[in-house]
Amino acid sequence: MSDKPRNLFNARYMDGDKIRPMDVSILIEDGLKIVETDELGKEINLLAQWSYEDIRSHDAPSHILIISNIRNENYERLEIQNPEAIKQLKENAPKMGRVEKAEAAKSHKIAALSIGALVSAAIIVIIAIPWVADIAAPLVPPNIERKLGDSVKDQIAQAFGHKTLEAGTCHSQEGDEALALMVNKITSHVDFPYELDVRVVKHKMPNAFALPGGQVIILNSMLDLSTHPDEVFGVLAHELGHVKHKDGLRLIIQAAGRSFFISMLLGDFTGSTVVVFAIQSLLHLSYSREVEHQADLFAIEQLKHHRIATKPMGDLLERMTAHMEETMKKKFDDHGDSTTDVDKPHNDKTHEHDKNQPAKASLLDSHPLTENRKKLLSRAETNTNTVPSLTQAEWIALKNICNDK
């Protein structure tokens, strides 16, 4: 007889010792028999026999039944998917849905194990992923880093209310030349593995930040807030410090690593989820103090090399921080509209509103000016005969770069 008996069903069995579940058969008769069978369904080995009184069920997706035996101390489990088998078991095992004391104790044990798993996950996310990012970032070839930066730049631009980064970029002949002068000063004696792409983008938030692959974005309100070219030069040098140290790349690797790990934990892994998560978290992440400090040191080195004053950078950062706090406070007082600027349509009316949004982009650089940073920048001021980084005419051209359109 090749047909299986009507009360014989396939199931998966974890005996509590082995890690992998075994494919088994179950026989639903006087009690529940868990058996190994041959291809024809003939019983070859009885693994366990459970009394229906002792069977309890566990949380599982609706089409799956997971049961255990309260008499067993180990984590023995049986997983059944066959609807007929589930139906017959529900009819036969009267206490299946109940959780009794012994079972509750086991649940606690499992909860304790889960807490252990959570702690391990936290360690991986907090310690291991940044560590891996530190090791991996220098190994990423410059062209790949550039591509990564290119792949996020338009999304970043959209967060600032522009269709593309280029669409939001200001140009004027003299302004572009003045900006190029500043950039060339730094690249004249620091090597970057790619051509730098520094631009001024229109937005009401005074800030500047660096994307992976040598792209630096200065928001035009930062120019409006500046009173001297050396202030801008200092902040630009700081951003180029982030570029030199591959900080943006490291941030992306960390964000991707985290989302990869989390989707793995949730068993919901697709490549696109990871990318989307990475970009989204990029908009909310900011650098650690140590990373900021290193970028400051790089900036100070550049400023001193060109005999440019270091204190103005601190003055601008102070104004930017004050402006940011004021905007945040104002926003809070004005009944805190929490709509994000990221997914807004891009017509001109919403632009105005978008541009008023403050640090939604706590983005790649929030530049909080701490006392330590301020001290560092004013103490570094040892040159008495400093030279301005731009002439007055160049400075005016740069400041007005967005006013030509």
List of residues contacting Zn ion (CB under 5 A): 292, 295, 365
CB of 163 to Zn ion, least distance (A): 27
Q: Is 77 helix (H, G, I), strand (E, B) or coil?
A: strand
Q: Which is closer to Zn ion, CB of 315 or CB of 365? A: 365
**Nearest residue (CB) to Zn ion, 273 versus 366:** 366
Minimum CB distance to Zn ion, residue 242 (Å): 6
Minimum CB–partner distance for residue 210 and Zn ion (Å): 8
Minimum gap (Å) between residue 253 Cβ and Zn ion:
18
Question: On the CB side of 13, how many CA atoms lie within 13 Å of its CA?
Answer: 20
Token code pair at residue 35: 């058996």
Q: In this complex, which beta carbon is closest to Zn ion, that of residue 73 or of residue 290?
A: 290
Q: 354 vs 365, which CB is nearer to Zn ion?
A: 365
The answer to whether the CB of 398 falls within 8 A of the CB of 390 is: yes
CA distances in angstroms from 13 to 6, 40, 49, 69, 281, listed in the order given: 20, 19, 12, 12, 41
Compare residues 176 and 365 and give the one whose CB is closer to Zn ion: 365
Q: Are 319 and 393 in contact (CB under 8 A)?
A: no
Separation in Å, CA 139 to CA 60, 98, 136, 255: 43, 55, 5, 17
Strands laid side by side in the 215-219 sheet:
197-201, 215-219, 208-211
Q: How far does the chain reach from its first CA to its final CA, in angstroms?
A: 87
Spatial distance between the Cα atoms of 395 and 233, rounded to a whole number of angstroms: 11
223 vs 317, beta carbon nearer Zn ion: 317
- Closest approach, Cβ 239 to Zn ion, in A, equals 7
- Least Å from the CB of residue 66 to Zn ion: 51
- 197 or 239, CB closer to Zn ion? 239
Distance, CA of 291 to chain centre? 17
Closest of 22, 7, 8 to residue 77, by C-alpha? 22
Rounded to whole angstroms, how far apart are CA atoms 310 and 187? Answer: 18
**Which residue of this chain has its Cβ atom nearest to Zn ion in the complex?**
365
- The CA-based angle 44-48-54, given to 5 degrees, is 150
Minimum distance from residue 238 beta carbon to Zn ion (Å): 6
Minimum separation from the CB atom of position 235 to Zn ion (A) = 9
Rank residues 25 and 207 by Cβ distance to Zn ion and give the closer one.
Answer: 207
Residue 113 CB-density burial (10 A; 0-12 exposed, 13-18 middle, 19+ buried): exposed
